[in-house]
Structure 1
Amino acid sequence: MQLARPERLPDAFLTCSPAELHGLLDGPTLVYLKGRRDPPLFLTILQHGNEPVGFHAVQRILRKYQDSELPRSVWLFISNVEAAEQGARVLGHQQDFNRVWPGTELPPCPESRIMQEVVETVTARPLFLSIDLHNNTGRNPHYGCINRLDPEFLQLASLFGRTAVYFRQPVGVQSLAMSEHCPAITIECGKPDDQSGVDDATRFIDDCLHMHHLPDHDPASGDLILLRTHARVKIRPERDFSFDNSGNDVRFRPDIDQFNFGLFRKGETLAELEADGDLPLTATLDNGQDIGSELFDIHDGKLIAKTDIIPSMATTDAFVARQDCLFYVMEPMDSV
């Protein structure tokens, strides 16, 4: 696997589908698009091949400025085109592209070498800011994720929406790596079929292209609702599970993603179990401590919330739940 560095995008990029990209590009592709103003904006799209919001938003932006100059220069990284061809998050022979950026705890691999090369290239000169664009597999509001609490990061988050998440784990993600070099954000734009997510992503990119600078003071009081990632909830690898009430060991409620950024109240049922026993979940803090027994309990064959829990990114996609996590547990921070 090598990083492609074409001088320009093929004309068909403006009209093709995500599945057709692999026929146009040789693989992960980094291209520089000259605009009126520098330093450039860094955009990362399609880290997960089944999350096309960034691709569609960039298409809209490039069509808008097709006959004129971009307001600001752009580094565009088109990531996992091979997975996009198959509409898959990641392929079986690949590492998750958004877990192998500099700072990852995974061993060196072709994907991590690509990301290292991308970072070294785009940071050889100053960057304005970095945006990584994603969809969710579950129902979520559109929100931004930041990895530092500096004013510029908070202002960037408030520009996208009123809700933002601060996190430091998992490592190896794009925004965490880029936060060492410039204000950086991951924007989560709803499910892949959510057209309003493309609208919001396009508007946000266009706003950033026209922005002269990010304010160096915190957003006004009440402008941003900030939550912190408290724990990452994973299903134990030895447990079978489903979201459709089929005869598995653990049968999660099929509407679990409706609670994102809401509340699992104390005593609420998350899943029905074939038999009582050990908890089927872990809930890991940034330091690796498992606090699952503080958050969940088993009673009469049901997995219940032991305390009020704010989930985010809860998914009903079994592959994502196994490969990544079931959901994150959030805790409110002081509103900015």
Structure 2
Amino acid sequence: MLTILESLDDEVLLLPAEELHTRLPGPVLVHLKGRKQPALFASVLLHGNEHTGWEAVRKCLLGYTGRELPRDFSLYIGNVQAARYGKRYLDEQRDFNRVWEGNESSPEHEMMRTVVEQMKQRGVFGSIDIHNNSGKNPHYACVNRTDNKFLQLGSLFSRTMVYFTRPRGVQSMAFAQFCPAVTVECGLSGEKSGIDHASEFIDACMHIKKLPERTLGNRDIDLYHTVATVKIMDDHQFGFDHKDYDLWLDRNIEYFNFRELPRGSCIGKVNSNKGNPLFITDELGEDVTQDYFSIIDGDLISNREIIPAMITLNTDVIKKDCLCYLMEHYPLPE
């Protein structure tokens, strides 16, 4: 399932994500030589509908045509078959960003174990997993540890950062066991601002000799902590187009991302007697739905102040992943 290469043809770098399947047999791990070691690692297209990572990588690498890279660079190009169809993943596949940990024996799990073991043996300066949001969000970095090296790496991309420990099985958690690792969220797929931002970040990481040791605090970065995951119950029809669904959500809901919403905020209308349409779990997987939302006269109302992130209007993403995450401010030393 995995092809390992020591070079990448220039012709491949000229292809958009949806055409990579014409030159690559499937997922690829490629090791490129540079002046400094150990290597910077980057993963792209873990979700086939998120193209910014690949566009950023090829922009960066094409800029070094005929020149030596500043640092060894190992690149994992993920779900090229899903990218062909613009899908997060195909129906017969597992989500490529939920299979990096665990003891399951699926082909996807086995492949990611190979990538992790090979990179652990080679040594990694830092790991970057590049993603897009399907809703309107600022560009931000995500970390699974609040260790200063992780925060320093993330701060090279954005002062806005999110600390999360769920969901499990993501790439950054696997690599966090042996190197600083971040996930960067670059807005909507294909936007020029996201491609440019991610490409500049990759280039900066290849140039830097070592991560700064100065401890970052609240004055340096805005750090949030993901405390809950919001899903919509499978037995509830939902949508944004009209009010006849079990749960009708306003299309403006994605503008709530990274905003502090006071207690009593309404996020939708409930038109059924099936109970709360939301299922909300905390970091331990415990049901905390009633802590966050209640139905009052048909309105879905927040029971406390909330800060949503990654709200999306993409119903396919909502069904396969979630509606959004809920966050709190995470204090750091002054």
Alignment-derived partner of residue 252 in structure 1: 249
Alignment-derived partner of residue 144 in structure 1: 141
Alignment-derived partner of residue 54 in structure 2: 55
Secondary structure, counterpart of 1:62 in structure 2: helix
Whether 1:159 aligns to 2:153 is: no
Whether 1:229 aligns to 2:232 is: no
Give the Cα separation in 2 of the matches to 1:286 and 1:300.
Answer: 30
Give the Cα separation in 2 of the matches to 1:103 and 1:158.
Answer: 29
Give ranges in structure 1 of 5+ residues lacking alignment: none
Offset, 1:256? 1.3
Structure 1, 233-242 or 270-279: larger mean CA deviation = 270-279
Give the Cα separation in 1 of the matches to 2:315 and 2:65.
Answer: 40
Alignment-derived partner of residue 11 in structure 2: 12
Tell me how many residue pairs correspond in the alignment: 333
Give the Cα separation in 2 of the matches to 1:183 and 1:224.
Answer: 17
| 2:218–2:331 contact (8 Å) kept in structure 1 | no
Secondary structure, counterpart of 1:118 in structure 2: helix
| 1:103–1:177 contact (8 Å) kept in structure 2 | no
Alignment-derived partner of residue 24 in structure 1: 23
| 2:232–2:322 contact (8 Å) kept in structure 1 | yes
Give the Cα separation in 2 of the matches to 1:84 and 1:288.
Answer: 31
Whether 1:68 aligns to 2:67 is: yes
Whether 1:267 aligns to 2:258 is: no
For normalisation by structure 2, the TM-score amounts to 0.97
Alignment-derived partner of residue 84 in structure 1: 83
| 2:257–2:310 contact (8 Å) kept in structure 1 | yes
Within-5 A mapping of 1:1-336: 2-103=1-102, 107-219=104-216, 222-245=219-242, 247-335=244-332
Over residues 151-177 of structure 1, what are the superposed CA-to-partner deviations in whole Å (9 max), with x where a residue is unaligned?
A: 101111111111100011111000011
Over residues 105-125 of structure 1, what are the superposed CA-to-partner deviations in whole Å (9 max), with x where a residue is unaligned?
A: xx3311111101111111112
Secondary structure, counterpart of 1:22 in structure 2: helix
Give the Cα separation in 2 of the matches to 1:123 and 1:153.
Answer: 17
For normalisation by structure 1, the TM-score amounts to 0.96
Structure 1, 127-136 or 285-294: larger mean CA deviation = 285-294
Give ranges in structure 2 of 5+ residues lacking alignment: none
Aligned letter for 1:86? Y
Secondary structure, counterpart of 1:255 in structure 2: helix
Secondary structure, counterpart of 2:124 in structure 1: coil
Offset, 1:276? 4.6
Over residues 70-127 of structure 1, what are the superposed CA-to-partner deviations in whole Å (9 max), with x where a residue is unaligned?
A: 00001100000000001111110001000000247xx331111110111111111221
Give the Cα separation in 2 of the matches to 1:331 and 1:69.
Answer: 43
| 1:166–1:227 contact (8 Å) kept in structure 2 | yes
Secondary structure, counterpart of 2:223 in structure 1: strand
Secondary structure, counterpart of 1:275 in structure 2: coil
| 2:141–2:158 contact (8 Å) kept in structure 1 | yes
Give the Cα separation in 1 of the matches to 2:276 and 2:243.
Answer: 19
Give the Cα separation in 1 of the matches to 2:240 and 2:74.
Answer: 40
| 1:143–1:164 contact (8 Å) kept in structure 2 | yes
Identical-residue share of aligned pairs (%):
45
Give the Cα separation in 2 of the matches to 1:286 and 1:160.
Answer: 26
103 and 218 in structure 1: CA distance in 2 versus 1, 3 angstrom threshold = farther
Structure 1, 256-265 or 202-211: larger mean CA deviation = 256-265
Aligned letter for 1:171? R
Aligned letter for 1:141? P
